[in-house]
Amino acid sequence: MNKYVCDVCGYVYDPEIGDPDNGVSPGTTFEDIPDDWICPTCAAGSESFSPAS
């Protein structure tokens, strides 16, 4: 499972951790995140994320 980085603020989405504060349970791949999910740090949409290198 790949990590994704927010292009705006640098927040890293780690699928193993998910984003439980915002209803995304651990183990959720980035592709399976709900469409309305936003970056928990800066509120950018998921289209602002790139695969972590």
Partner 1 sequence: MSKNLNAIQIADKVYWVGAIDWGVRNIHGYTTDRGTTYNAYLVMDDKITLFDTVKKEFEDEFLSRIASIVNPEKIDYIISNHSEPDHSEVLPEIIKAVKPEKVFASVMGKKALNAIYHDLNMEITAVKDGEELGLGSKTVKFMETRMLHWPDSMFSYLVEDKVLLTQDAFGMHLASSERFGEELPWGVLKTHVSGYYANIITPYSSHVAKLFEKIDTSGLEVSIVAPDHGPVWRNMDNFRKVLSLYKKWSARKLDEKIVIVYDTMWGSTEKMANHIEDGARSSDVSVEMMPLYSFERSMIALEMLDASAVIVGAPTLNNNIFPSLADVLTYIKGLKFKTPYGAVFGSYGWSGEGNNLLREYLVSIGVEIVDEIKSKYVPDDKVKEECFLLGQAVANKVKEFIKNQ
Q: Using CB under 8 A as the criterion, which residues of the chain lie in contact with partner 1 when the complex forms?
A: 8-9, 41-44, 48
Q: Rounded to an integer, what distance in angstroms lies between the CA atom of residue 48 and that of residue 44?
A: 6
Which is closer to partner 1, CB of 22 or CB of 29?
Answer: 22
Shortest CB 31 distance to partner 1, Å: 22
Instruction: Count other Cβ atoms within 10 Å, centred on residue 2.
Output: 11
Binding residues for Fe cation: 6, 9, 39, 42
CB 46 within 8 A of CB 33: yes
Shortest CB 1 distance to partner 1, Å: 25
